[in-house]
Amino acid sequence: MANTYFQTAKIQIGEYLYVYFDKYRDHKYGAIRSKDMKNWEDISEEISFPKGLRHGTVFWVSEMIFDGLKMK
Separation between Cα atoms, residue 14 and residue 2, nearest integer Å: 32
Q: Report which of 46, 47, 57, 55 is spatially closest to residue 23, judged by C-alpha positions.
A: 55
Q: Report which of 58, 67, 61, 64 is spatially closest to residue 12, judged by C-alpha positions.
A: 58
- Name which residue leads in pLDDT, 71 or 44: 44
State the pLDDT at residue 55: 66
Q: What is the mean pLDDT of the chain?
A: 83
What is the chain's length? 72
Q: Is the pLDDT of residue 56 over 70?
A: no
Give domain limits for the chain.
5-71
pTM of the model: 0.69
Residue type, 29: Y
Task: Count CA atoms within 13 Å of residue 49 on its CB side.
Answer: 19
Q: Which residues pair with 4 in a beta bridge?
A: none
The predicted-structure confidence for 3-25, as pLDDT tens digits, reads as follows 555 567 888 999 999 998 888 78
